[in-house]
Structure 1
Amino acid sequence: MSLFNKRKPLVGLDIGSSSVKAVELSRSKKGYQLTGFAWESLNPDIVVDGAIMDAPAMAASIRETLAAGKFKPKRVATGVSGHSVIVKRVVVPAANSDEVEASIQLDAEQYIPFELSEVHLDYQVVGPSTTTGDEPGMEVVLVAAKRDKIHNHTNVIGLAGRRPEVVDIDAFALQNAFEANYSVDENATVALLNIGASLMNINITKRGMPLFIRDVPVGGNQYTDILQKELQLSFQEAEDLKLGKNGGTEAEMVQSLLESITDMLCTEVQKTFDFFRETYPRETINHVFISGGTSHMHGLAAKIQDTFGFPTDVLNPFRSIELGPKVDAAALTSLGPSLAVAVGLALRGWNDD
């Protein structure tokens, strides 16, 4: 599902709050092949609360990322998420798919907490259903993204000399990456958690369609922040300590501080899972996959599994994707799950749906 039409080939460009990730895929006999990838860190003041505050600096970072990856395609697929994006499964009064669009245009205001003039609307039909009044209806996944959020991203891509061909939703891109790499029972309900520096995208999906999507403003920055504050460290010192690059005599205190943030993160996941159960009382989550830069945190997957009792694994976005001859496998291994959304975005150039 995307907000603009798609063509191929595309570079999947994931613009995060702490880094820019880019991926290019090509078709292969077995499915897909990774042609190239690149990653560049961002200064912390370029993106604040999900908004690009310094467009020229962001455009420069995008140019550097794309140059580092030696990407040839001018067309780019990017994604948006956060409080400016709404994704809901709703039942609209419509007897068939042809009547859905008219019904959405008529009733969208009751589902979207924004002025309709401020958003771009899109939808995907799930199938026939009934309304609360037992009238014939169609269940749809309804998407609304604020136009200024979309422009925020497309503007810097244009400044970087590329063409923003697709604007998708990060949670959808995450699902694309998962489905390209994993096969699960059609009746399985899977929770996908993409945990970045400042935002966690949660997509609970079944049979190739999202059941429940939520973006939570928590992520790896919380680990860094608490280390900075409690141990009087610089940002980089705290980052290194978070990733286990520096030890020292305060190891026990550091571990305690990191665990406190992991507990907080699990509390936010718990809130989402509780809300999901209230919305879909007959559904049970069968498996959890985590991705994003914060999935590298030692013991995080095990903690989530112990807390909720669901099998939990770190998502490998290249599990079923061949590596091209020019790909640096060692560098790719170190990034791995951080590239999940970028992989999903790159797939927009090849997906038929």
Structure 2
Amino acid sequence: MDLKRLFYGSREVFGLDIGSSYVKAVQLRHDEHGYHVITAGLTAISGDNKDKPAGISEVVRAIRRCMKSAQIKTKNAVCGVSGPNVALRRFRFPSVGVEEVESAVLSEAQQVCPFEEGQYIVDYQLFTNNTGGDLSEAKNPQDRGAIRGVLAAATMGVIGHKSQVVKAASLNCVLIDVDGLALLNCFVECEKESRGEPTGVVCVGSKYTNFAILGSDGVPFVRDIPHAADEIVTDIAGELKVSLQAVRDMAAGKSDGDVKGFEDSMKTAAGAMTSDIARTLRYYSAQEGRKVRKIYICGGFAGAKGFVELLNSQLPVEAVIWNPFNKMHFEGGQGGAKLVKEQGSRLALAAGLAMRTI
């Protein structure tokens, strides 16, 4: 299934991942040999108080610094959204005319999306030729000829806020994607040999953990877990009675600190997140009849000291750090090459956004 468009929309674009702590930007070029990295940037969002959320002006300054350091010339940004104000649902309709599909999708969205009527935007994608995904083997005769696909909905508030921030940075937000779908598209493009059985991608951000599963039939399953890096860091800081920055330094391996205490505290602090991941794995297995056996970890917290080892000890699947840039060619300078080699897992979402076409 090709999920190349969602929400608004070929111009030259770059992927812009605006997080709570960092801004990430990636620009790619695609040809018959695969994807080439033109440039990439990673910039911290610095505020007056590192323990409090940054304001819009601070985020805008970080975007501009990131653009400058990466030397990105185009102003056409592809951004992503996730969290409780975004919903992704599959749908199946009896065989209907092409002109009726859109109204059927909108009607379905009204029934399944937990948002106030009239306060959200909907887009959808049909499974390719309606023979891909779970349509490939229609066991029930009445399923044959059915229309199936996936719809995405996001509140006007979350889309408006993202667009406002990008516009304030003097950029054009030409397309808004769903974070989980962007991650899966990046996975499909970079890990073709890993296809064949359900595989999960877990992106651990500051506020949310995006858990996206690509089924063996190519059908996506996406869930945003409300437990992520900020919660883990805050809980560890409280347990060890140290500052948030001290915990971040220990996680990054920049401080010896109380390493044993840090690792013990992380097991407890990450408990809610690992429990949600395990619960989601069980749900997916029960619904699809197939088990996920491997998950690829990316995002800002993926490289935290002992984190992937913790996941392997707590989850019934193999967890590995994922750097999609290992499967790409780099065309930029040495600084950018070093960045994608050492910090590529943090830039995975930005890479997925950069792969979108409009």
Give TM-score scaled by structure 1 length. Answer: 0.88
Once the 2 structures are TM-superposed, how far is the Cα of residue 170 of structure 1 from its aligned partner? Answer: 0.6
Distance 1:46 1:9, change over 3 A: farther
Distance 1:190 1:88, change over 3 A: same
Confirm or deny: 8 A CA contact 2:40 2:339 kept in the other structure: no
For residue 274 of structure 2, what is the aligned residue in structure 1?
Answer: 266
| 1:74-118 superposed Cα distances (whole Å, 9 cap, x missing partner) | 111000000000001122344355532121223321111113411
Confirm or deny: 8 A CA contact 1:46 1:58 kept in the other structure: no
Find 1:301's aligned residue among 308, 313, 317: 308
For residue 199 of structure 1, what is the aligned residue in structure 2?
Answer: 208
| 1:214 correspondence with 2:217 | no
Find 2:237's aligned residue among 228, 238, 244: 228
Distance 1:34 1:274, change over 3 A: same
Once the 2 structures are TM-superposed, how far is the Cα of residue 183 of structure 1 from its aligned partner? Answer: 1.4
The 2-side partners of 1:18 and 1:190 are apart by 28
Once the 2 structures are TM-superposed, how far is the Cα of residue 62 of structure 1 from its aligned partner? Answer: 1.1
Confirm or deny: 8 A CA contact 1:287 1:310 kept in the other structure: yes
> Matches of residues 1-353 of structure 1 in structure 2 within 5 Å?
1=3, 2-28=5-31, 30-43=33-46, 54-95=55-96, 97-126=98-127, 127=130, 137-184=146-193, 186-207=195-216, 209-248=218-257, 250-280=258-288, 282-328=289-335, 329-349=337-357
In structure 1, the gaps of 5 or more residues are: none
Aligned length: 346
The 1-side partners of 2:54 and 2:21 are apart by 13
The 2-side partners of 1:47 and 1:73 are apart by 31
Higher mean alpha-carbon deviation, 271-280 vs 74-83, is at: 271-280
Distance 1:245 1:38, change over 3 A: same
The 2-side partners of 1:254 and 1:53 are apart by 26
Confirm or deny: 8 A CA contact 2:324 2:345 kept in the other structure: yes
Confirm or deny: 8 A CA contact 2:80 2:179 kept in the other structure: yes
The 1-side partners of 2:343 and 2:207 are apart by 17
Confirm or deny: 8 A CA contact 1:223 1:242 kept in the other structure: no
Distance 1:116 1:140, change over 3 A: farther
Confirm or deny: 8 A CA contact 1:290 1:312 kept in the other structure: yes
Distance 1:270 1:88, change over 3 A: same
Once the 2 structures are TM-superposed, how far is the Cα of residue 147 of structure 1 from its aligned partner? Answer: 1.1
More strand by share: 1
What is the letter of the counterpart of residue 268 of structure 1? D
Confirm or deny: 8 A CA contact 1:35 1:327 kept in the other structure: no
The 2-side partners of 1:211 and 1:11 are apart by 23
Distance 1:241 1:304, change over 3 A: closer
The 1-side partners of 2:71 and 2:23 are apart by 15
| 1:220-264 superposed Cα distances (whole Å, 9 cap, x missing partner) | 22332123212332222221122222114x332222112222333
The 1-side partners of 2:11 and 2:119 are apart by 29
The 2-side partners of 1:154 and 1:64 are apart by 18
Confirm or deny: 8 A CA contact 1:6 1:348 kept in the other structure: no
Distance 1:117 1:61, change over 3 A: same
The 2-side partners of 1:285 and 1:279 are apart by 12
Distance 1:97 1:313, change over 3 A: farther
